[in-house]
Amino acid sequence: MPMEPETVGAWMRHGVTLCKEGNWEQGLAYLSKVVEGVEGRQTLPPIASSYLGHALARKGRLREGRQRCEEAAKEQFYQPEVLVNLARVYLLGGERQRAFAVVQRGLKLDPAHRGLNALLDELGERRPPVLRFLGRGNFINLLLGRLRHVLRPAARKAKDEREPAARRGPS
């Protein structure tokens, strides 16, 4: 039996709210019921569809979640919240570069968006390749980059141990 439009709207809003609060399983349940209840009469708005996609991806249904988020982003490419969900789905699928590109695109639209900036902080900033004349994916660069990653904290610690003595001056 199809849902009434008022019920569809209320369930959809509640499902999105639950997802925003981090309660992905319940949000997925509500949004899935909405999809079942509209029975082809209408589609979910892109923002709700992106939350449904993100919830599906978190549940392990990456392909379906990614598809929903990508469709929502095509329809509302100017909506930063849709882009946050798409980037998070890409991250769940191990597609860090795509996630970064989506975050960059979203920050061009809204540089102050909290969700996009939080995601950018989470992604971190890539350092340039150790040997810039070789490609980032070159085996030597990968090996040296891993070595740099391991040695960098040790070098900082040694520097921090030397600096207090330097600030005190000669004994």
Provide the whole-model pTM: 0.73
Same domain, 41 and 52: yes
Same domain, 19 and 60: yes
Confidence of residue 151 (pLDDT cuts 50, 70, 90): confident
- pLDDT tens column, 5-47: 567 788 889 999 999 999 999 999 999 888 887 666 567 889 9
1 pLDDT above the threshold of 50: no
Q: How many domains does the chain have?
A: 2
- Report, as an integer, the average pLDDT of 119-128: 86
Same domain, 73 and 148: no
Instruction: Name the DSSP letter for residue 137.
Output: T
Q: Distance between CA atoms of 123 and 107, rounded to whole angstroms?
A: 14
Same domain, 40 and 111: yes
In order of 25, 64, 154, 168, 170, the CA distances from 161 in angstroms are 48, 52, 11, 12, 16
- Which range marks the domain in which residue 162 is found? 127-171
Same domain, 73 and 98: yes
- pLDDT tens column, 92-115: 999 998 999 999 999 999 999 999
- Alpha helix (H) ranges present in 21-138? 24-38, 46-58, 62-75, 80-92, 96-109, 114-123
- Please report, for the domain that includes residue 73, its CATH number: 1.25.40.10
Query: Higher pLDDT residue, 63 or 158?
Result: 63
Same domain, 118 and 72: yes
Same domain, 14 and 65: yes
- pLDDT tens column, 51-81: 999 999 999 999 999 999 999 999 999 999 9
To which H or E segment does residue 153 belong? Answer: helix 139-168
